[in-house]
């Protein structure tokens, strides 16, 4: 395994039962090969509020999470100051159904609390300290709501809203998808966001409820049942393919490029690997260090 890969890239906790049931979504699809063609029209890639025009997207992973506590407003502010062109955040649901920014299923590592995030009400979550674990300078930094982020980002920063499997509820009315879509529509940001998820049930629902808001598959091997990337994108009527640098291959790049499917790769913090991926032609990279990524992109790509 490459040394750049950090614990931050660990897989989400998805139950085996759900993985197997979700894999059924793909069982009727063609097998992956370089000749697979895209079968649907892609929703347009979101408009970039900040864009240096080089055709490559610098994405701040969980905000500028190398410099400030991940998924908090200080990390968003820093990413903005560093001219990130998109910010990726993770979204979970409080016990009273409010979308909040948080990555882990449990609050233990990233706050001063203990237990599963989904068991906390919004009020209880907002009383937690989500900053001290990173640095005492951030003591008392709260967990933001998605609504707070949208208000901050409106007309200012393009967002990749990654919806975590822990926010899925079987009853649609209690689940995350309609809540996130309603917020994005309330703030008129449908062309300023890209949805994504490792949970293919969430992607299927997003496509059903809001097909015009772009959504990218976050490649997950079990649900993908060994199908190639275009087949997976087809089966979910998705608009992009987001993938771990550990799983991404030259062959997949060719297949996706042939179908003009945008490819975003996570999480890359080493200059050499950033440069290699940019040369390979990926549309964007998620990094905890968006300032470093922007520097490398400027070196590798011709100035427009
Ligand atoms: O969305 C890209 C990346 O964030 C997915 O992995 O675990 O960092 O949310 P993770
Ligand atoms: Mg994420």
CA angle 197, 41, 217 (to 5 degrees): 15
Domain assignment present for residue 11? The answer is no
Q: What is the CATH number of the domain that holds 149?
A: 3.20.20.190
Q: What is the average pLDDT score of the chain?
A: 91
pLDDT single digits (tens) 181-195: 999 999 999 999 999
pLDDT single digits (tens) 12-70: 445 545 554 555 455 433 444 447 999 999 999 999 999 999 999 999 999 999 999 99
Domain assignment present for residue 22? The answer is no
In the chain, pLDDT over 70 holds for what percent of residues? 88
Domain assignment present for residue 292? The answer is yes
Choice from 286, 287, 290 to test ligand 1 binding pocket (greatest atom count within 8 A of CB)? 286
If you take atom 8 of ligand 1, which residue's CA is the nearest one?
9
CA–centroid distance, 55 to ligand 2, in Å, is: 22
pLDDT surpassing 80 at residue 117 = yes
CA dihedral 34, 4, 285, 9 (to 10 degrees): 80
For 273, residues 6+ apart whose C-beta sits below 8 A from its C-beta are 2, 4, 245
pLDDT surpassing 70 at residue 10 = no
206 confidence band (pLDDT: 50, 70, 90): very high
Domain assignment present for residue 158? The answer is yes
pLDDT single digits (tens) 207-246: 999 999 999 999 999 999 989 999 999 999 999 999 999 9
Domain assignment present for residue 37? The answer is no
Does residue 103 carry a catalytic annotation?
Answer: yes
Contact 111, 139 (CB under 8 A): no
Does residue 61 carry a catalytic annotation?
Answer: yes
Choice from 9, 75, 194, 241 to test ligand 1 binding pocket (greatest atom count within 8 A of CB)? 9
CA–centroid distance, 61 to ligand 1, in Å, is: 8
Is the distance from the beta carbon of residue 196 to the nearest atom of ligand 1 less than 6 Å?
A: yes
User: Residue 304's pLDDT is what?
Assistant: 64
Q: Which one is catalytic: 84, 90, 103, 229? A: 103
- Segments forming the whole domain that contains residue 214: 43-300
pLDDT single digits (tens) 281-302: 999 999 999 999 999 999 999 7
CA–centroid distance, 35 to ligand 1, in Å, is: 29
Domain assignment present for residue 26? The answer is no
Is the distance from the beta carbon of residue 88 to the nearest atom of ligand 1 less than 6 Å?
A: yes
Domain assignment present for residue 269? The answer is yes
pTM score of the predicted model: 0.90
Angstrom CA distances, 212 to 206, 246, 263, stand at 10, 30, 18
Domain assignment present for residue 21? The answer is no
For 140, residues 6+ apart whose C-beta sits below 8 A from its C-beta are 129, 131, 132
| Total number of domains in the chain | 1
């Amino acid at each position: 395994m490459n040394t750049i890969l950090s614990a931050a890239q660990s897989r989400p906790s998805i139950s085996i039962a759900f993985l197997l049931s979700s894999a059924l979504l793909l069982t009727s699809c063609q097998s992956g090969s370089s000749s697979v063609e895209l079968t649907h029209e892609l929703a347009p890639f979101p408009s970039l509020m900040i864009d240096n025009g080089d055709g490559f997207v610098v994405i701040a992973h969980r905000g500028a999470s190398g410099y400030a506590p991940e998924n908090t407003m200080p990390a968003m502010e820093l990413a903005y100051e560093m001219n990130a062109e998109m910010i990726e955040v993770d979204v979970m649901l409080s016990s009273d159904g409010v979308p909040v920014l948080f990555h882990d299923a449990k609050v233990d590592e990233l706050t001063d609390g203990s237990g599963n995030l989904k068991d906390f009400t919004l009020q209880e979550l907002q009383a937690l300290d989500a900053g001290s674990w990173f640095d005492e300078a951030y003591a008392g930094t709260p967990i933001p709501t998605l609504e707070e982020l949208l208000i901050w980002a409106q007309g200012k920063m393009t967002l990749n809203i990654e919806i975590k499997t822990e926010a899925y509820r079987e009853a649609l009315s209690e689940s995350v998808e309609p809540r996130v879509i309603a917020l994005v529509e309330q703030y008129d940001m449908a062309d300023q966001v890209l949805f994504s998820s490792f949970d293919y049930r969430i992607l299927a629902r997003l496509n059903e409820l809001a097909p015009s808001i772009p959504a990218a598959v976050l490649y997950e091997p079990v649900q993908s049942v060994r199908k190639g990337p275009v087949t997976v994108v087809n089966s979910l009527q998705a608009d992009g393919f987001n993938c771990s640098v550990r799983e991404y291959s030259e062959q997949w790049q060719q297949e996706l490029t042939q179908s003009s499917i945008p490819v975003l790769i996570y999480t890359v913090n080493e200059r050499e690997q950033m440069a290699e991926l940019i040369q390979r032609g990926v549309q964007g990279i998620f990094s905890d260090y968006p300032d470093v990524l922007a520097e490398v992109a400027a070196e590798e790509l011709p100035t427009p």
